[in-house]
Each structure stands twice: as C-alpha cells, then as structure tokens.
A and B are shown apart, each in its own frame.
Chain A
Amino acid sequence: MAYQFAEEKVFCSGHHACPGCNAALAIRYIVNTLGKDTVAVVPPSCIAIISGPQPLSSMRIPVYQTTLEASAASAAGIKRALKARGKDHVNVVAMAGDGGTYDIGFQALSSAAERNEDIIYICLDNEGYMNTGAQKSSSTPFMAYTTSTPSGKPTVKKNIAEIMAAHRIPYTATATTGYLDDLVRKVQRAKEMKGMRFIVVLIPCLDGWGVADHEGAKISRLAVQTGIFPLYEVEDGRKYTLNHGPQGIPVEAYLRRQKRYRHLTGEQIDEIQRMVDSDWEYLRTKFDS
C-alpha cells in the first residue's frame, strides 16, 4: 500500500511545532486538503503557536486568532459574513485544542452545533493543556498524569464525539495521525458537506504524554488497535460507520509506551482494560443498525 494525497500547498515549513509534532502533521493534512479557499480560526493553543509567530504565518490562508472561548462563534460569524458577501464557497475551519473544545470553548461549540452553523470544527485533541505545561482537561483520560493530576486523573475522559453526535449535526468523525488516509478522507468529506461538521483528531503529544519524538503515529495507532480510540464517523447523529476498530491488542501495549502512565499498577491497567472493553461493547452496537 502506498498513500497518495492531493495536497494544496497551504501549510509551510519553518513553523515552530516540536520535532515530530503530530498536531503539525494533522494541520498539514487539514489545511492542505481544505485548500486555499479557506479561512482558519484558531484559539490560544499549540495550533496558535504553530500557525506562526507574527508577523510570519505558516498557513497561506487567512488565520484569525480568536479567544479561547469563542472559536465556534468566531467561525460562524466569519462564515455568515462571507456568505453575505457572496463568498459561500470559502471554507471556514476552526482548529482548536481539547481545552478550547471540551472545556472553555464548549458553550460556543454546542450553540453553533445547535444552530447547525456552516463550519468545520476540528479538535486537535492531545488530552490536556499541553501548551501551558500539561494541565488536565476534561479530555484527559482516566489515571493519566498531568501537572494538575500528579497521581493520575480520577475521572474518565469526556466523550466529545458522542456529545457532538447527540446534537444531530450532519457529520461527526474521529480520526488520528497514524491513519493519514482516513484523516484526509474525513476532512475531504467534511469539505464537501454543508452545515456543522465536527472531527476530533487524537494527537499524541510527545512532550505531554512522554513519547519518543518518532513514535507519535505509532502511539496513535495503538490507541486505535487497543480500542481506546476507535475511528468512526456519524452522519446526522444516527448513521454510524466504523473505519478502524480494536484488534485485540491489550491496552497495556498503549499505556506502557507513555510516561504519563508509568505510575500505573497492574490492577489499574486491568481496570482501564475493563473500561475500554465496556466502552467498545457499548459503541459497537451503534454500528449494527
């Protein structure tokens, strides 16, 4: 197998993402697939850093850096303004981190979804406030270390894909960097649709998770293969399609490669395994109908 992607050269070299950064990798395929007729909206996050130190930009498209609360609202406003000026063909994409999506930007996001605003919202989910030194977010998984959960987060990760699907928006999908073809296809699919489109992309944060510089894509695959982060898409909040699911690999294979989990006991790993199994049992029933 060999990948073949038609990229428009929007994303530029010389950006300031860490070596091996999977967010930068995802951004490459998001903006290069959406193409030049796109406006991006970015709240404070690593994505804001990557989009370039002013006055330089790493994206050859207009990028609006908004507040942490307002990505979805800003994107919706820009899209409505473009439409009013007869530029409906321009894509508007909000690219926010999990902090700006699950937590601080959630109200704006939920409202935009409820209004079915004509925007693409992509959450680059690295499971914490990694840009400010790895604090926990509501996306941080159960038992993961962050600087604000030094003995492991006692609560489970919020399931944003299910929340967004529950808004009955036209398109909800999960994706990750280890499956670039799947990511590109989903961005392309979102680009071709109208209304609120939401994609959550799992982004292994090399520094925040304690992963080797070269291993981001591999870790992201393990997240899928262990069943921790199945890749699927949902149309109109109802029609579920599984793209890549668990392959019987124990969660330990995923957890043991990350420093944020190195404090885990065998019992805790077993508990996580049971939770993942149970979540998968619940999710898989949705693919049947």
Chain B
Amino acid sequence: MCAVAKEIPPVWTTGWTEELSTGTWRSATPVHEERPSPCKNACPAGGNIPLWIQQVREGQYHSAWLTLVANNPFPAVTGRVCHHPCEVSCNRGEYDGAVTVNALEQFVGDLALKEGWPLPGPENNKDARVAVIGSGPAGLSCAYQLRRRGYRVTVFEAQPEPGGVMRYGIPAYRLPKEIVAGEVNRLLATGIELRTGTVVRGEDLDSLRKEFAALCLATGAPRAKVLPQFNPAGGRVISGLDFLGRVNRNDIPAIGRQVAVIGGGSVAMDVARTARRLGSQVKVLALEDGHNLPAQAQEVQEALEEGVIIRGGVMVREAAEEGGILNLTCDKVVLDPSAPPGVLKPIVIPGVSFQVSADTVILAVGQDPDLDGFPVRQGENRVIEVDHCQATSGAGIFACGDAASTDRFVSAAIGGGKRAVLGIERYLEGRGGNCGGEPVPDEVSFKEINTFYFPVAARVERKAADPVKRLQDFREARVALTEEEARAQAHRCFSCGHCLKCDNCYYYCPDMAVIRETLPEKLYGIQDRYCKGCGLCVEECPRGAIVLKEVRR
C-alpha cells in the first residue's frame, strides 16, 4: 500500500461562509409592510395621520398639508372642532400621553390659510355634472372630492352663506368665522359653482336629475328635537340650533338672566357657553350623570371653567310659566344600564324632585334631518338609509353627513362626503360592486412599539385662554401651538406601521440578511439565502413596520 502524501494547502481558508445558505433554516420570514396605525383607522375622514405628522416633524409643512387635504379640505376647522378619536386610540397614550394630533392639525391648517396655499384642482375635466344639496362639511367635502376628480359640481345651499354647521352651528369662540370662510372659499375656488339662498325640496329632485348625472344629499339635521314637557308654543323655550344660528348671524336673542339648557352633548355645551358670553347665568340639566356626558371632556371642562353649572342625572318632569318665569320641576334619575346602546332610559329616583327656574329654556336634545318629500328610504333612526358607498334607495342619489348618519361629528361628515364620491364615481362609470376596499394588514398595537427608541416626552396641548377674559367676547378660547411646540409634539409620534428608514432592521441583523434598497418604493430587502428568520429586525423595528410571516415550503 502506497499512501499518497497529503498535500498541505498553502492557504487554509479557501472561501467565505457566504457560500452557505443559512436561509434554509428559516421557518418564518420578515416582511416590511406599511400597516395602518390606530389613529388612521380611528379617523372618520380616513386621514393618513402618521404621514402628515412625519412631514411636520421634517418641517415639510406644505407636503403635510397636501397629505391632510387629500382626505379633508378643512384641516383648520377640524383642527379645532374634531372630537379626535385618533388621540383616544393613539398608541402613545399607553406610554406617556397621546400625540396632540388635533393641535398639530390646527397648526398645519392655520399655516395653509396664512400662506394662502390653494387646494389642488382637477388634472383634467370630465363632462359629468353632479349636484350637491347642502354646503355643510359633508356636502363641501363631497363637492371637493368630486372636483378633484374633474367632475363639474354645483352646490345648492338654502342659507345665504355656505358652511352649514361650521358657520351657523359651532360658536365663534371654538371656530372663528374667518377660519370657516377661508377654508370654504379656498374650496370653492377649485371651480365649484355655489347657489346660495336656494332651497331644494323633495319635488325638485326629478328636474335636478335631468340636469345632473348624480345627486348627493347633504342637507344635515336641521330639525331640532322637542320634548313633550315643554310647550313648543311658549316663546321662552327655544331650540339650541336656532339660538346658535341667531348668535352666529349676530342676531342676538334676548334670553334673560337665568338660562336652563336641556341636554348633555356638544351642542348643549355650545349653547351654555354662548349664553354665558351673553351674560346669563347658565344651568345645564342632563339625563346622563355629570361624569359621563356625551360632550367631549374638554368642552365640559371649559364650560365649568366659564361658570356653567352642570347638573347630571336630571330629568325635567314639567315646565310651568308663572309671571314671566319658567318653573321646571325636575326629578333625579339614573339611566337604565340594560337599555340598548344609544337609547336613554331614565329611571326616576323617587322623593328627590326639585325646582329650577329660568327666564329661558334652550333645548339641545338632538336633531333630525328634514327629509319630507325626498324620494329616498329612511331608517328607524330617521336618517337616510345608505350602503357602504353612501348610495340611497334612489337611483343616482347619494347621501352623506347628518342627513344619512347619527354620527354627528364634523369629521364624520367629511369622511361621509369623501365616501359618497367613491360611490358616485362608480355609479357614473357604470361599475357595480361595493366600495369595500382591499383587505388591509392588521393595525399596529402598542406592544409592537419598541419604546426603547422613544425617550419619554411630555404631551403638550394648546393652552386655554383665561376663563374670565374668555367670557368677555367670542374670541377663540384656546391658544394654538407655536411652530416650536408643534415640531416637538410631532417628534412624539411613533409613526406606527410606517417605515422611516431608520436602518434598525439593517443594523440589528446578525446575519447581514437585511439589505438597503435604492428603489424609492422599496426601502429594504431580505436576502432569502441568509435570513434565519429570528425576528430580531421585527423586534428592533421601533414602530411595527415589519411583520414575521410563516414560511410554507
């Protein structure tokens, strides 16, 4: 046997481990994916909140505003009056306080008005004409989105000025009228025809249908609800809507020294605070207990600061006029917790009734649409029945806003107007199906946020003006954030589910399997050959923009 002498290689290392495919070990693979943030999902207008806040953070204010107005043409309005469910759902709320989305929206909205930025108009014009009935937030949102898509739009408005609830409902100390005028005029300037002082009745729809390819009803909920306890004929009982409308038209009604406001919602707070500014003593009587009023907590807080007395758990049994004074006999009540949601079923606590006297009673117990004669089906809740595309039972007739929803929020109306346009466009293009979009990835939850990358930073809200000074006139009650404050607050946004190219996934990979891409639409790639599927990149992503997906072979 002759053994061949084993050669000793001059170099022991003949290659690099890059020849080895460790990716075969993997049972899961990371995927970079833009995922919805809770704020975006909560936004009734579908606003891309993480994106525009990111643009504010980078000082790209015009871009931020363009992102905002893609969904909502009234950021300076909603930046003041939106009930901001985005902040309630904000993941940062579980950490050190929600991002002040609403205040940031106001900052961007105000800046746009100050700078005079025009809204983007249509890229090309279409022939189809669409009529929008009503120029409140829903109608104008619908008109604007139609116009952006090139349709020719005519808006009909019964009142002398456009704006609906923004102009005639919400008081000026919450929403200055020049803000409304600024945003409404800017919207109309995109080429929308407005016919004010034009009442459209149900019987007019047939002739409108001949002139217009589609109609959108956005007539709001102008009919104030009444309560049987109050004699509607008595001049000392007025509706909150009428009261706010008159004050907003500078036609101040005489309400006397003592005012009782019935109701616990936003309108009740608007009425109470307006009456305080007119010099009256104001008591709010609400069925709900004082800590659970339907009005936003901040509005209640500000009303209390301004000296409004709020009595919750109260129901007025009867009202009697005596010597020019209304005497209200009130019972203490609790609400039946077994009542279905949205239904108030008061249970009287016996033996604790009391009297409240007032010069004027203002009812703010809700409103209904005024739809007499309109050829569209209404639901039991007295609003127009619509499908996901806001289409009504009438062919080519769509509806949005308070006329078609019991979600009585400005931002919900804006969202409804935008949704109606998707339906109108489908209708005009002769496409069927519904407006349900593509399936979206799961919303980013707080536990997917890696808080190590977010130093604790305090939430700063707009400061309230001094309550005593506030009562002297209708000047705005809250002080906007400064640019510096806005930038600092924008920095607090986690940007849930939105990759900011921070490179953490790239740097944290022990296998160098994450690569930086140069394509604008694709930021990172995963090298299948090497990725072992450990999920470290997913964990170290600060904001839940990577998910681990099971590998099926």
Contact = CB atoms under 8 A, between A and B. Distances in A.
Interface in B13-29: 13-22, 25-26
Nearest to A214: B535
Contact of A24 (B9, B12, B450, B511): B511
A90 interface: no
Contacts of B509: 25
Contacts of A21: 510, 534
Given A2-B503, A28-B512, A15 B539 contact: no
Contacts of B511: 13-15, 17, 24
Among all A-B residue pairs, the 6 with the closest Cβ atoms: A20-B534, A214-B535, A19-B532, A14-B17, A14-B20, A19-B534
Interface of B: 9, 12-22, 25-26, 450, 452-453, 500-504, 507-513, 527, 529-530, 532-536, 538-540, 548
Interface SS of A by simple majority: loop
Contacts, number: 117
Contacts of B534: 19-21, 213-214
A57 B17 contact: yes
B538 A214 contact: yes
Given A2-B502, A3-B503, A214-B535, A60 B510 contact: no
Contact of A13 (B504, B508, B512): B512
Interface residues on A, range: 35 or more
Contacts of B533: 19, 213
Contacts of A58: 16-17
A171 to B, nearest CB: 24
B16 A25 contact: no
A121 interface: no
Specify the main secondary structure of chain B where it touches its partner.
loop
Interface string A51-89: 011111110100000000000000000000000000000
B539 A217 contact: yes
Interface in A32-66: 52-58, 60
Contacts of A3: 502-504, 507
Contact of A217 (B508, B512, B532): B508
A91 interface: no
Given A13-B512, A19-B26, A52-B17, 15 more contacts: A13-B18, A13-B527, A14-B17, A15-B20, A16-B17, A16-B20, A16-B22, A20-B534, A21-B510, A56-B13, A57-B17, A58-B17, A60-B16, A214-B536, A221-B452
A19 B551 CA distance: 15
A15 B513 CA distance: 11
Contacts of A17: 510-511
A217 B536 contact: yes
A14 B530 contact: yes
Contacts of B510: 17, 20-22, 24-25, 28
B25 A19 contact: yes
A214 B548 CA distance: 11
Contact of B22 (A14, A25, A216, A221): A14
Contact of B13 (A1, A4, A54): A54
A119 B323 CA distance: 101
Contacts of A287: none
24 contacts: A2-B501, A2-B503, A3-B507, A4-B503, A5-B507, A12-B512, A13-B511, A13-B512, A14-B19, A16-B17, A17-B510, A24-B511, A25-B508, A25-B509, A28-B510, A52-B16, A56-B16, A57-B16, A58-B16, A58-B17, A213-B535, A214-B539, A217-B539, A221-B452
A197 B265 CA distance: 69
Contacts of A1: 453, 502
Most interface-central of B453, B509, B536, B538 (chain A CB within 10 A): B536
A14 B18 contact: yes
A11 interface: yes
A55 B13 contact: yes
A215 B534 CA distance: 9
A242 to B, nearest CB: 17
A160 B509 CA distance: 28
A108 interface: no
A21 B548 CA distance: 17
